[in-house]
A and B are shown apart, each in its own frame.
Chain A
Amino acid sequence: MGSFIVRRLIQTLLVTLALSFVSYSLMGLMPGDPLDIACQANPHCTPENLVTMKKTLGLDQPVYVRYGKWLAGIAQGDLGYSRTYRLPVTQILGPRLVNTLFLSGTSLLLSLVIAIPLGVFTSLRPNSKFDYSLNMFAFAGISIPAFWLGLMLIIVFAVKLNWLPAGGTETVGLDAEMGLFEAAFDRLKYLILPVTSLSLLTIAFWVRYTRAKMIETMRHDYVRTARAKGLSEQRVIYMHGLRNALIPVVTVVALGISGIFSGAVITETVFAYQGAGKLIFDSILANDYNVAMCSFIITSFLVLFMNLIADVAYAYLDPRISYA
C-alpha cells in the first residue's frame, strides 16, 4: 500500500510537470503579445526597442530555456507578477482558491447528501412512478448545459422574482462591523444559485449510479444469504447491500470532485463569482499569462491530488483490490 501511494504521488507530480510544460508552451500560441500591446500604447516605442526589450527579458530564447527559468522561480515560491492586477500572483490566487473551495465544497456536500439517499431510496422501488420520474430528472440533469441552467436560474430568481442576487461573491461595500453571522448569511445568499447550478449535474449522475450499483448488489448471493438467515430487511439493505454498493460509488464520487472543480469555471463565470476558475478564464482573455498558468496548474494539481486520495480510499475500502 505504501509503495502504491508513493508511486501514484510521483505519477501525479510528473503529470502536473508535463501539464505545466505543455500549457507554458501553449501560452506562446495565444493571441496578443503583452510586449507588443505595451509597445503599441507607447508612441516612442520603435521596432528596434521591441527587439532589445525581448532580448533583455530573455524572450528570444527557446521555450524550454524560458520554461526552466520559470520553473526555478516557482520552486523558490515566486509565482510571478500579474500584469492586469499589478500584484504578485500569490496575493491574487489565495483568496480566489478559498472562494472556489467554498463553492465546490458546498456543492459536493449538497450533492452527496441528496444523491446517495435518493439513489438508495429509488433502487428499493425499481420501476415505480417515483423511480421513473427520478430517472427522467436524472437524464435531464446530465443533458442540461450547466451555463444555460445558470442563466435560467438568474432569469427566474434574480431578474423576475428578485429573490437572490444575479451574481457576485458578497455584497460590495459591506461594513466590516457586520457580525460574523450576518457576513456568513450574506455569502450564503450569493452561493445559493451557483451551488444549485453546479450540483444538479453531479446529483443526476450520482443518483443514477447509486441506483444501478444498489440494484446490482441486492442481486448478489450474500444478500440472499443474509435474508435467508432471517435478518431484518433494514439490516439486509444497509449492512449487506449499501455498504458493498458504496465501494464503487467512492470512485465515481472522486471523479465527480474533478467534475465539480471543472464545472466551477463555467458556473463562476456565469455568476461572476470571484473564484479560481473565473480567474483562469479572465486572465487568459487579458493575456495575463502568469496568473493563467499558476491558477490553471494549481487547480489541476488539486484535482489530480483528489483523484489520488480517491484511489487510496478505494484500495482501502475494497479488500479484494491490492496495489502491491
Chain B
Amino acid sequence: MSSNATLAVAAHAVSPVEAKDPRAKSMVRIAFEQLLEHRIAVLSLGVIALFCGIAVFADVIAWAMNLDPNAQDILNRYGEFSREHWLGTDEAGRDVLIRLVYGTRVSLAVALLTTVSATIIGITVGSVAGYFGGFIDTVLMRVTDSLLALPTIPVLIIMASIDFTKIPWLGGVVPSDMVSIVKMVLVLMVFSWMTQARLVRGEVLANKDLEFVLAARTSGLSSGAIILKELLPNVLSPVIVSVTLSVGSAILYEAALSFLGLGIQPPTPSWGNMLNNAQELIYSAPWLAVIPGILILIVVMAFNFLGDGLQDALDPKAIKR
C-alpha cells in the first residue's frame, strides 16, 4: 500500500501555502503523526502490507515451498495438517496453504481494482454533478440515489449470473481464465461508486463559489482544470477514507458472490470460493471452512481500522495541536 504517497497528496492539497518556518510541520507530517498515534491503524497498515506482500510474491512462495495450487492428489482428500501440507488439503487433495496464498492475490486484486475504478467513476460523476449543477446534476444524482437504494446482494446476484461470453465485444477480448475476475470487477464496480460520487458532489458544491475558485475562473482556467486542480484536491481526504473502507466491502462482496458460486470460478482460488463447498466441509473438514473466513475477517477489519485512523488523522477539525 502506498498509503504514505496518498497521504502526501491529500495533505498537499489541504495546504496550498508551504510553510517557510523550519519548525512548522507540513500537513503531511501532522496527518502522518496523527495516524501513528492511532495504534490499531498502524497495526492494520502492517497487516495490509503483509497481505499485499503475500499477494505480490505468491509465485515466489509457491516456488520456495515447492507447491502448486492446482496440483491434485485424490488419494489425499481432506488431509490433516502435516509437514508437507501445513494447513492440510482440500476436497481435491490440493494444498490449502498455497491456495490461500493465491486466493489472497485474487481477492485483493479484485477488491483493489474494483475500488480504484469505482473511485474514478465516483469522482467524475460527483464533480461533474456538483460543478455544473442544474439538469445534469438532477439526472446524475437521481441515478446515484436509485442505485444506492437497491438491495445490493440480489442485484449483484443477478448481475453476476450473466454469462459474459454472450456479450459480443467482451467475450473475445478477455482470456478465458480471467473472465470471472474481469466480470467480478465490472459487476462490483457498477455498484460501488455511489458513495464517492455523493461525497465529491457535496464537497464540490460547498467549495465551488468560494474565492479561490472564482480567482481561478477569472484567470481563465477551463472548467475541467478548475475541477481537477482547484476543487478535487479539497475532496481528497474524505475520499481517501471512503476508498479505504470500500476496499473492505469489495472484499466482502466478492467473497459472498464467490461463496455462492457466482464470483471467481474454480480452479482459480479466491477466499470466497474456497468456501464454496462449505456445506460439505462443515461435516467433513470444518477447519477448511474456518481458515479462509478468518483471513477475510482480518483483512477487512484492517481496512476498516485504517479507514477509521485515516479519518481521525486527515480531519483538520480533529487535529489536537
Which of the segments B72-80, B115-123, B275-283 contacts the partner chain? B275-283
Q: Tell me if A155 and B289 are in contact (CB < 8 A).
A: yes
Bound form: Cα–Cα A155–B212 in Å: 60
Bound form: Cα–Cα A262–B154 in Å: 6
Q: Tell me if B161 and A258 are in contact (CB < 8 A).
A: no
Given contacts A11-B142, A144-B297, contact A159 B283 (CB under 8 A): yes
Q: Tell me if A23 and B158 are in contact (CB < 8 A).
A: yes
* A263, CB-defined interface residue at 8 Å: yes
Bound form: Cα–Cα A281–B257 in Å: 11
Q: Tell me if B304 and A26 are in contact (CB < 8 A).
A: no
* B219, CB-defined interface residue at 8 Å: no
Residues of B within 8 A of A163 (CB): none
Q: Tell me if B149 and A143 are in contact (CB < 8 A).
A: no
Contact with A along B279-306 (1 / 0, CB 8 A): 0001100100110110011001100110
Residues of A within 8 A of B43 (CB): none
Residue of B nearest to A306 (CB): B149
Q: Tell me if A266 and B161 are in contact (CB < 8 A).
A: no
Residues of B within 8 A of A143 (CB): 248, 252, 297, 300-301, 304
Interface residues of A in 129-146 (CB under 8 A from B): 139-140, 142-146
* A307, CB-defined interface residue at 8 Å: yes
Q: Tell me if B146 and A299 are in contact (CB < 8 A).
A: no
Q: How many chain B residues touch A (Cβ–Cβ < 8 Å)?
A: 42
Kindly count the residue-residue contacts between A and B in the assembled complex, taking CB atoms under 8 Å apart: 127
Residue of A nearest to B308 (CB): A139
* B153, CB-defined interface residue at 8 Å: yes
Interface residues of B in 210-267 (CB under 8 A from A): 248, 252, 255-256, 259-261
- Shortest Cβ distance from A13 into chain B, in angstroms? 12
CB-contact partner of B297 in A23, A30, A140, A258, under 8 A: A140
CB-contact partner of A284 in B157, B252, B296, under 8 A: B157
Q: Tell me if A303 and B275 are in contact (CB < 8 A).
A: no
* B163, CB-defined interface residue at 8 Å: yes
Q: Tell me if A266 and B282 are in contact (CB < 8 A).
A: no
Bound form: Cα–Cα A261–B151 in Å: 7
19 additional A-B residue pairs with CB within 8 Å, beyond A29-B163, A265-B153: A11-B146, A15-B146, A26-B162, A30-B161, A143-B301, A145-B252, A145-B255, A145-B272, A147-B255, A148-B259, A148-B289, A258-B151, A258-B152, A262-B151, A262-B153, A281-B260, A299-B151, A299-B154, A303-B151
Which 7 interchain pairs have the tightest Cβ spacing? A148-B293, A262-B151, A143-B301, A143-B300, A31-B163, A262-B153, A29-B162
